[in-house]
Amino acid sequence: MRERLLYEQEIINEMNTALEKEQFEVWFQPIYNHSSGARVGAEALVRWRHPIHGLIPPNELIPTFERNGFVYELDKYVWESVCKYLRTWLDEGIDSLLVSVNISRYDLLKDDLYDVIVGLVNKYNLPISMLRIEITESAFAKDNRRVLDVVKLFVYYGFTVEIDDFGVGYSSLNTLKDVPAQVLKIDMSFLSTHYDGASQSGEQRISRGGTILESVVRMAKWLGMAVIAEGVETVEQANYLKSIGCDYVQGYLYARPMPAHEYIQHIVGVRKEEKLLTVELVENYDNNKFWDPTSLDTLVFNTYVGGACIIELHNDHIEILRANDKFAKMVGGENCTIKDILSLNLEDHICDHSRETFFDSVHETLRTCEDVVCELQFLDLYEKGRETYLHTTMRVIARTTTRSLFYMACFNITQHKLAERHKLLVRQQLQAIMSNVVGGISATIIDNDGKINFIFANDYFYSMLGYTEQQYHKEVDNPLVLVVPEDLGRVKKIISSLT
Ligand code: C2E
Ligand code: CA
Ligand code: CA
């Protein structure tokens, strides 16, 4: 601890001189579209080339500088350096593409932050799209209006804002709905404990963390945001990211952060991508309201008495993107969580006849944009042997040319369905017994006034009395008329003793 304190003190003592002597270096780490192989830009990362300690990584500096306020001075230096590089490269005809710079959450509290950044872009006469702004998710954690206002100002002015270090909490997308950021950066290292890599069978297995990443990627796309995965270190991670449609990557697998001259050499000859890809909604049923934590739709979604979920349809494949707690409990029982539900593959469990019903309903709501009601049967949902019937109302909320998004409100009607089936079974069994018995059987209700109501008789009953079924019902309105008069008293006595 003593050593740490001394080291920290040394850093503090020397930081101002270091800035004057230009000992801080800006390094660049490229960002790629790994599906197309194109480059999309870089992130600027600071290092201190210390005369004695050598290259000091930012993790050893930034926390101290954030505590003593120096971070703003350093960041201004980094931003200006980046702008200078961009200007030089433009002048040299090198299409270096955009660069993202980090903005500490402490910078966001400075009154002149906006003026400083706009001033730099103007001073170096850069297209506004070349400088991107990275703000860590935690800066928005405490519903900070001020932070939000600054970010809005940047976006309004035309900057692209990226939310850095977006965590695994899928629900935090909700809290970020108010942030008008265009890019979400997800750090793979946050997922490393969930990411299993190769299993013993040599097969890829992505655990629940992966599934949550997937739903974050999809939701971000539905919000019109691009997603960059950073800290990508393995081919398995890269393949998985491709499989879930996360095309933008930054990580050691592709390139480490490097000094400016290396960066320029590195990207020479690599095709560039002009614009980040995002899903474009061709029709939008107030989709965004759905992710807004304060919107009525969301409140209804979360507090809805029944279960509800949001599913995506793509190439006739369905996947759950969001579910409320009620839905989880309804489908998986008391111990089932929303996370469990999100890792569930609904398609594996829907029964064949229900699959047809489901897709018919889906296509109908797509055609009419109206609510469509259907009953669906699922098998082995969450637990082996579990049978689930859901009464479902679905509605399309958004769609693109290739994907659609649906809202499903569900009631669990399993008990009712099972009881109904049980009743039917009993009736069928009874019928089978009665028609096979050699003997007449009839069921009759005699009410309190002595009125007789016929319920049922088997074939033998009619034939034994010498009637067909039709004849019997035409001619006999009261079975007691068939009893010989001297027995009538006895029969009535027996009946009254039974009732
Ligand atoms: P960050 O903004 O999340 O930056 C990404 C960090 O991940 C960088 O660390 C980068 O070198 C590292 N990284 C990239 N690919 C991989 C990978 O495949 N595996 C692993 N394990 N790491 C990878 P770096 O450069 O050490 O920066 C650390 C943090 O320091 C940054 O995290 C950022 O929060 C902060 N920082 C760096 N430069 C600046 C700056 O100029 N201003 C401010 N305010 N903060 C900065
Ligand atoms: Ca960053
Ligand atoms: Ca990051």
φ and ψ at residue 467, rounded to 5 degrees: -120, 160
Comma-separated ranges of CATH 3.30.450.20 domains in the chain: 287-416
| Residue 41 near ligand 1, beta carbon < 6 Å | no
Which CATH fold would you assign to the domain 287-416?
A: Beta-Lactamase (3.30.450)
Which residue from 31, 82, 102 has its CB within 8 A of the most atoms of ligand 1, so it is best to mutate?
102
Axis crossing angle, helix 145-157 with helix 113-123, rounded to the nearest 10: 20
Instruction: Choose the weakest-confidence range: 183-192, 273-282, 314-323, 340-349.
Output: 273-282
Q: What is the pLDDT of residue 307?
A: 86
Which ligand 1 atom sits nearest the alpha carbon of residue 134?
2
CATH classification (class only), 437-498: alpha beta
340 lines ligand 1 (CB under 6 A): no
| CB 162 near ligand 1, within 6 Å | no
Distance from the CA of 164 to the center of ligand 2, in angstroms? 6
Where does the pLDDT of residue 36 fall: very low under 50, low under 70, confident under 90, or very high at 90 and above?
confident
Q: Which residue minimizes the CA distance to atom 20 of ligand 1?
A: 231
CATH 3.20.20.450 segments of the chain: 2-278
Q: Tell me what pLDDT residue 385 has.
A: 84
pLDDT level of residue 198 (50, 70, 90 thresholds): very low
Residue 212 pLDDT class (50, 70, 90 cuts): low
Residue type, 75: D
Q: What pairs with residue 134 in β-bridges?
A: 102, 162
Q: What is the pLDDT of residues 276-331, one digit of tens each?
A: 655 444 444 555 555 555 555 565 666 566 788 888 888 888 888 888 888 888 88
Determine the Cα–Cα distance for residues 197 and 205; give it in Å rounded to an integer: 6
Q: Is 138 in the pocket of ligand 1 (CB under 6 A)?
A: no
**Cβ of 312 less than 6 Å from ligand 1:** no
What long-range pairs does 232-236 form, CB within 8 A, spacing at least 24? 232/188, 233/188, 234/197, 236/197, 236/198, 236/204
CA distance 107 to 117: 11
Ligand 3 is an ion; residues with CB less than 5 A from it: 164-165
pLDDT at 193: 41
Q: What is the mean pLDDT of residues 4-13?
A: 93
- Which amino acid, 235? V
pLDDT of residue 104: 95
Residues 6 or more apart whose Cβ sits within 8 Å of residue 97: 39, 40, 41, 42, 130, 267, 272
Tokens of 66: 């954030």
Total number of residues shown for the chain: 499
Task: Look at residue 221 in the predicted model and tell me its pLDDT.
Answer: 76
Quick one: which atom of ligand 1 is closest to the CA of 101?
A: 41
For ligand 1, is residue 71 a contact (CB within 6 Å)? yes
Q: Whose CA is nearest to atom 38 of ligand 1?
A: 45
Mean pLDDT of the chain: 84
Distance CA 81, CA 72 (A): 14
Does the C-beta of 470 come closer than 6 Å to ligand 1? Answer: no
CATH of 2-278, one of 3.10.129.10, 3.20.20.450, 3.30.1490.100, 3.90.950.20: 3.20.20.450
| Closest C-alpha residue for ligand 1 atom 16 | 231
Q: Which numbered atom of ligand 1 lies nearest the CA of 65?
A: 44
- Structure-token pair, residue 207: 């655990």
- Crossing angle of helices 2-20 and 70-91, in 10° steps, is 40
pLDDT of residue 195: 42
Of 31, 32, 62, 79, the one to substitute when testing ligand 1's pocket (max ligand atoms within 8 A of C-beta) is 62
47-50 — which CB contacts under 8 Å span 24+ positions? 47/257, 48/18, 48/23, 48/24, 49/23, 49/24, 49/25, 50/14, 50/18, 50/23
* Stretch 472-481: mean pLDDT: 86
- Burial category of 83 from C-beta neighbours within 10 Å (exposed 0-12, middle 13-18, buried 19 and up): buried
Ligand 1 proximity of 45 Cβ (cutoff 6 Å): yes
Instruction: Please determine, for residue 203, whether its predicted confidence score (pLDDT) is greater than 60.
Output: no
Exposed, middle or buried: residue 280 (CB in 10 Å: 0-12, 13-18, 19+)? exposed
